[in-house]
Chains A and B, each alone.
Chain A
Amino acid sequence: GRANARLPPEVNRILFVRNLPFKITAEELYDLFGRYGAIRQIRKGNTKDTRGTAFVVYEDIYDAKNACDNLSGFHVLDRYLIVLYYQ
């Protein structure tokens, strides 16, 4: 929501997500993260080292904060999502 409390500096529109199921699809990612607001872009890891991670870019900083607050520790196919602000 539009709380007028000042946003901490680390909050930004790009989330770095870890512990994703390897076979999660674009539809599933857009569905899961799209519930919190308009998505500017999603980049999904596609190598041995980056599999299971993704960058999710929101259009609005409040949507990103809302998603981060709600999806950290979210349970997806027996995995707990790790959602961090990308610095």
Chain B
Amino acid sequence: LTPEQLQELRFQRDVDDRNRPWVDEELDALFPPDGYEILEPPASYKPL
């Protein structure tokens, strides 16, 4: 591996790590327990 490839690999691993999906319980743990409601996605919502 060239240094550039190594850097790219390390960089990609960082992004993948920071993009690891959350399960609902993990999300619940991140937020204040009250004062907020989880919104239902509108029927018209189409994720990009």
Contact = CB atoms under 8 A, between A and B. Distances in A.
B37 A6 contact: no
Contacts, number: 75
A7 B18 CA distance: 10
A75 interface: no
A45 B27 contact: no
A43 B38 contact: yes
A85 B36 CA distance: 17
Given A4-B8, A7-B18, A40-B22, A26 B48 contact: no
Interface residues of B, number: 25
Contacts of B30: 14, 86
Give the interface size class of chain A.
20 to 34
A41 to B, nearest CB: 6
Contacts of B19: 13, 59-61
B48 A44 contact: no
Contacts of B42: 26-27, 30
Given A38-B47, A42-B38, 4 more contacts: A26-B42, A43-B31, A57-B22, A59-B47
Interface of B: 8, 11, 14-15, 18-19, 21-22, 27, 30-32, 34-42, 44-45, 47-48
